[in-house]
Amino acid sequence: MKMISKRMEKAINEQIGHELFSSHAYLMIAAYMDSIGLKVLAAKFFQQSEEEREHAMKFLRYMLDAGAEVKVPSIAAPVVKLGSVLEGVELSLKQELEITKLINGLLALAHEEKDYATASYLKWFIDEQVEEVAWVSDLIQLIKHAGEQHMLIVENRLMHMGITPEGETYGGKKHGK
């Protein structure tokens, strides 16, 4: 039995596509960071790419649990031409703010349709976006303080926070988990 409306079904299917697009965008940012020798930042963005894919899978599994029809949309290739580390991280913030706006739209639709199960499910994503936007905002501030010529200091700080070139963490949870 289907537990969500056609409108919600369509909106969540679209969100799956947005999450996968974000995953691809983060892959491109990670590749840029790696290509300029910033292995710790690259690891962070490879990790972010995987988290966005996991978010898409969470939505997909919710759709299956709700008896909805899953239609994964085609994903356009992200156009990512970066000239600096700061540009890459600012692109990440832009992407996170867009995803936040879209998830807020899903919550608004859930309330409009009195779809309390979906509204409840979306709480995790709402909380996750607050964490993601805060983390990227802090990273932008750190990069601006250090300056592009001091990215190794930023990498050292990230390693101190538990992010390593291998993408592992020490002394705490992996970000976003």
Would you give the DSSP letter of residue 119? H
Nearest to 174 by CA among 86, 54, 87: 54
pLDDT score at 120:
97
- Given this structure, which CATH class describes domain 6-160? mainly alpha
Alpha helices in 36-71 (DSSP H): 39-65
pLDDT score at 80:
75
Q: What is the pTM of this model?
A: 0.89
CB-based contact 59:12 (threshold 8 Å)? yes
pLDDT score at 148:
86
What sign has the CA pseudo-torsion 66, 52, 96, 133? positive
pLDDT score at 173:
43
pLDDT digits (tens, 9 = 90+) for 130-177: 999 999 999 999 999 999 889 888 998 888 887 778 654 433 444 443
pLDDT digits (tens, 9 = 90+) for 61-103: 999 999 999 999 999 998 878 999 999 999 999 999 999 999 9
pLDDT score at 167:
52
CA–CA gap between residue 126 and residue 108 (Å, rounded): 12
pLDDT score at 170:
39
pLDDT score at 175:
40
Does residue 37 surpass a pLDDT of 50?
A: yes
